[in-house]
Each structure stands twice: as C-alpha cells, then as structure tokens.
Amino acid sequence: MNITVSPELKAYIDPLTLDEHAALERSLLAEGCRDALVLWGDVLVDGHNRYGICQKHGLPFQTVQNTRFQSMEDVYLWMIDQHLGRRSVSDFQRGVLALRKREILAERRGQAASAESSELPDGEATQSLPADQSAAKPLHSREDIAKAARLSSSQVVQIEKIQKQAAPELVEALKAGAVSLNAAAAVASLPEEEQRAAVIAGKDELKQAAKRVREARRRPAEASAGTEDTAEGPDGARSASVDELSSLRGQVAALQAENASLREQVAALRERLGEPAARSTG
C-alpha cells in the first residue's frame, strides 16, 4: 500500500508532546492499532503518529478513504473539526484551530461570492462552489468561535492577543503548560525581550510578570475612579474635578450665547438682502 505523508498536513496540527507520544506508543504495542488511518487518495489525512509508530515496529493497521474531500480546504476543515472534538486538545490549541476555521470559511465565502458575480464571455454565470463546500456554519463573531472551541469569548480575545503579540518562546511555554492562558495573554503585552526573559526565568517569574502587568493596568483605572468620587472633601472644600466641570459649563454657556448672537446677525443680513429668514431648527 502506497501512503504519502504530506509535511504540510502533518504540521497543520500541533504535534504530540514527548510524553503523549510515548503513551501512544505503549498503547499501540499493547493493544495494536485499532483505529483506521484516514486517507484522501494515497495522502494520509489522520493518524500520522499512529502510522509512524506502526512503521517503526512493523505493526499492522487499517485504512479508510474519505471520498467527500474535494479540495485541501475540505481536508483542513475536517482535521480541525476532528481535533476540536478531542478532550486532549488544550484550550489554546482549540482556540487557534477555531480561528483557522473562521479564516478558511471566510475565504470560501469570498470565493463563492466572486464566482456568483462574475460571468463567462457567452453570458452564462459561473457556477458557485459545490453546496457541500459551504455547508459549514460560518464563524462570524467571537461568540461563534468560542462556541466552536468550547471556550469563553474572553478566552478567544486572549488567544487572538497571544497570536498577534506573544514571542515564540512564550507561545511554546504556553503549549508546554508552563504558563496559563490568562497569564500568557498578560505577559504578551510586554516587549518581546521581557517576554523571553520571563520564559527563561521559569514558571514563577512568568506568574510574577503577569501579576505586574495586571497591577499596572489596575492602577490607572483606580486613579480614574477616584477622580469621580464625591466632589467635596471632609472640610467641605470643592474638589478640582467640580471646579473644572463648572469652568466647562461656563464655556458652553458662552459659546451658546455667541451662537445665538451670530444667528441674529445672519437673520438681519438676510432681511436687508431681501432673503426669507431661515426657519429655526431649535
């Protein structure tokens, strides 16, 4: 049997950790390869780890063809859905996969819309994408992504931030379980050099770095809240915020008076020119 391993497909899903791979190898040696490998033609789609272990030890295995695939995008979507349903996949990995799914579906919708709007030279509209290629439910909002990945919307926001701002070393630490999703999102707001230094220092420093970021965010918010407290202190003196508000109100009143005067001047000018006065809009 000729089986082709595509490096692109093999790398599309995060690889197993060393411990996970060792556990799978022990299971296959003890019980055999019970689940069939999924193929698309001769291309291996699902079961790369099992296939490698079976090849290493000469273990027998079964294969099954998925005849519904019509493109590599179909393969990617199927792989994503398979892994989104697996409990062994981390929150971060599920979020990344759901975001990838959104991108694929959005690109597919764009292609379908472009195909429907274009016409052939003979006047016949081009055919849209096959129905089964657009059957997947679109992921329009963060809520849709969160539901697909079994996460909260806030976790999706954190994952998006990590993808955009986190240093590679921080992402690897998150995948390895050295830092939580929440802490990684906080540390990702630091300059890359500080992120790397925190990763090198270990778990405790990552926690402390995340704590410092949260405290730094909290201080301005608390200071802002403090300026909105009661306008008078214990001695009855008016606070600076009330003085500022009074000043702003005075400026608004002056501007309103100036505006009314200008309107009167415009009305008088129109009257001299014989134009009807403009109706007030209130």
pLDDT digit string, tens, across residues 151-206: 999 999 999 999 999 999 999 999 989 999 999 999 999 999 999 999 999 999 99
**If 0-12 CB within 10 Å is exposed, 13-18 middle and 19+ buried, where does residue 174 land?**
buried
For residue 89, give the amino acid letter.
V
Does the pLDDT at position 276 exceed 70? Answer: no
Does the pLDDT at position 142 exceed 90? Answer: no
CB neighbour list of residue 172: distance below 8 Å, 6 or more residues apart: 199
pLDDT digit string, tens, across residues 52-87: 999 999 999 999 999 999 999 999 999 999 999 888
What CA–CA distances, in Å, run from 202 to 177, 197, 217, 239, 246? 11, 9, 23, 47, 53
Q: Bridge-partner residues for 44, per DSSP?
A: 39
The residue that leads in pLDDT, 92 or 88, is: 92
Percent of the chain with pLDDT over 90: 57
pLDDT digit string, tens, across residues 228-249: 554 445 444 444 454 455 455 5
Average pLDDT, the chain: 82
Residue boundaries of the structural domains of the chain = 1-67, 70-116+131-152, 166-226
Nearest by Cα to 63 from 80, 47, 82 = 47
Are the C-beta atoms of residues 40 and 66 closer than 8 Å to each other? yes
